[in-house]
Structure 1
Amino acid sequence: MAEIAGPRIYSCYKYRNHVSLHDDIISKTFQGKYGRAFLFTHAMNIVVGQKEDRRLMTGLHTVADVSCSDCLEVLGWKYLRAYESSRRYKEGKFVLEKAKIVKEN
């Protein structure tokens, strides 16, 4: 398990497993299954699930759900492929649901 020293860390809401840094937020305007979600450049201590094509609000994407590596709670998803060129900036990025993460410190 990766441990980060210092403030501004996001963790799984159940096990407080560190999953991303506040500084890795690209956008706070994303919408997830449970409401607001954040787009992050990096995530840690997660398990990436099977890839699947999913029609999201912004079109068709290939995504994989991401889960906490401790409790396996689905926290969001990883963008693997965007079919529209204007959405390609999302590829390789992570969407984490605000309802599934907590800000530490």
Structure 2
Amino acid sequence: MLDVYSVNVTVGEEEERMMITGMHTVVDIFCVGCGSIVGWKYESAHEKIQKYKEGKFILERFKVLGPDGSMYVLGQEVQVDGSDADDA
């Protein structure tokens, strides 16, 4: 579920994902305009020290601003599975 401050994005299914900082329950965030994954939201953290991340959104700068940070990326294929966090 998105909070009242979320605009122009939708979320995918909850999944357990191993991140560098441990196991988290996350949802991918999709642009409503092009359908591309632009980041993820932490739904819950399994370790007490990571609980501060719950409810926080992570936007991947490359996917939002482009490789040089100067523009929004348009016209790319829609990605419907995974995210860069899978590589972590």
TM over 0.5: yes
Bin of the TM-score, shorter chain as denominator length:
0.5 to 0.7
Matched position secondary structure for 1:71 = coil
Q: TM-score, normalised by structure 1?
A: 0.56
The Cα shift of 1:84 comes to 0.6
Larger relative contact order (CA 8 Å, sep ≥ 6): 1
Matched pairs, number = 63
Unaligned runs of 5+ in 1: 1-41
User: What corresponds to 1:68 in structure 2?
Assistant: 31
Give every structure 1 segment of 4 or more consecutive aligned residues whose post-TM-superposition deviation is greater than 3 Å: none
Mapping of residues 1-105 of structure 1, within 5 Å: 43-102=6-65
**Cα deviation digits, residues 37-62 of structure 1 (max 9, x gap):** xxxxx542101100000000000000
Unaligned runs of 5+ in 2: 72-88
Q: Compute the RMSD of aligned alpha carbons.
A: 1.6
Say which structure is richer in helix: 2
Say which structure is richer in strand: 1
Matched position secondary structure for 1:50 = coil
Amino acid at match of 1:56: M
Q: TM-score, normalised by structure 2?
A: 0.66
Identity level (%): 44
